[in-house]
Amino acid sequence: AQSVAQPEDQVNVAEGNPLTVKCTYSVSGNPYLFWYVQYPNRGLQFLLKYITGDNLVKGSYGFEAEFNKSQTSFHLKKPSALVSDSALYFCAVSSRGGGSYIPTFGRGTSLIVHP
């Protein structure tokens, strides 16, 4: 079985400060990792993914994430937060060779950026 943990239900950060939204995973085989964002009353939007290669992945809207195999983590980061980044963020994992290629999503982390 595969699983994703987002240990923080909510993250608060001041505008202009760096932000981190944490994600850890458990999977058999090589993990494929994704971040999505959900704005109120909207579906999820794809931000970025790690499949293979460079551990630092850059995505939409200035977000990036770092894959750390030894810590089984895939934290989402942004150097300078905007109020418009306030939303619900989901981490997801899929896999081949023991896991499931259907992604398993975390419960989500609410990011609140204060002006």
Partner 1 sequence: EAGVTQSPTHLIKTRGQQATLRCSPISGHTSVYWYQQALGLGLQFLLWYDEGEERNRGNFPPRFSGRQFPNYSSELNVNALELEDSALYLCASSLEYGTGTYEQYFGPGTRLTVT
Does position 41 bind partner 1 by CB under 8 A? yes
Task: Give min distance, CB of 20 to partner 1, in A.
Answer: 20
Q: Identify which of residues 32 and 81 has a Cβ nearer to partner 1 in the complex.
A: 32
Q: Helix and strand tally (H, E) in the chain?
A: 0, 12
Q: Which amino acid is at 91?
A: C
β-bridge mates for residue 21, sequence order: 76
Q: What does the DSSP 8-state code read for residue 103?
A: P
Site pattern 49..68 for partner 1 (x: CB under 8 A): x-x-----------------
The DSSP element (H or E) to which 114 belongs, if any, is strand 109-114
Q: Which residues bind partner 1 (CB under 8 A)?
A: 32, 34, 36, 41-46, 49, 51, 90, 94-96, 99-108
